[in-house]
Amino acid sequence: MTEGMKDPGGQIDAARRGEESAYRALYERYRPGVVRLLEAFGTLDFDEREDIVQDTFTRAFKSLSSLATPSSFEAWLYTIARNRAKSALAKRSSEDRTMADYVGGVLDTVPPFPESLMLEVDLAVVRDLIERLPPGPEKDTVQLFYVEGQLSAREIAEKLGVGKSAITMRLERFRARVKRELMLRVLAGKL
């Protein structure tokens, strides 16, 4: 194994000595791979992925002294990222179940809105969420599908130059966001 394979540019050893430039170099070198790994967890939104990326590198850099061999840094880093993603999804799932159980109990005791009024409230929530999305691929997709409403998921994929599965995933994430927002509003007594 060459020296470069053991420790790319001696950066791991330099980071162990606390050299800021080494931390920066490792971050820049391995961040794209960590992001790609987290994108495989399709239900994580952009903000969640960014939080996990930061958490992954923070944990890795704090524990760098426990890394036995520099050549295993990349695999070790990806393991940290994978575990952080699984923890985030498990936490979200637990929170969603708790919220659904609570909302179920609340909905059993609150009389329902008239259907026409609920539709207006739901549409207002969707419009508000679309407006609050940061500019980018997810907002473009949601606007094309829900606001303009003339294109299918496949047509949007062709227009944006991505696969249909990417469009479907973005729309599913947005629908989950709408569902969470509606539940939060019910809990807060705004609906």
d(CA 158, CA 150): 14
Q: Which residues contact 188 (CB under 8 A, 6 or more apart)?
A: none
d(CA 191, CA 183): 9
pTM for the whole structure? 0.48
Predicted confidence at residue 102, as pLDDT, reads 54
- Which region among 8-12, 16-20, 75-79, 162-166 has the lowest average model confidence (pLDDT)? 8-12
Predicted confidence at residue 115, as pLDDT, reads 52
Predicted confidence at residue 5, as pLDDT, reads 43
Q: Where are the domains of the chain?
A: 3-89, 111-187
CB 186 within 8 A of CB 107: yes
Q: Which architecture, in CATH terms, is 3-89?
A: Orthogonal Bundle (1.10)
Per CATH, which fold does 111-187 belong to?
Answer: Arc Repressor Mutant, subunit A (1.10.10)
pLDDT in tens, 32-85: 999 998 888 777 888 888 999 999 999 999 999 888 888 889 999 999 999 998
User: Is the model's pLDDT at 1 over the cut of 60?
Assistant: no
Predicted confidence at residue 29, as pLDDT, reads 94
pLDDT in tens, 100-138: 555 555 445 545 545 555 556 667 777 888 888 888 888
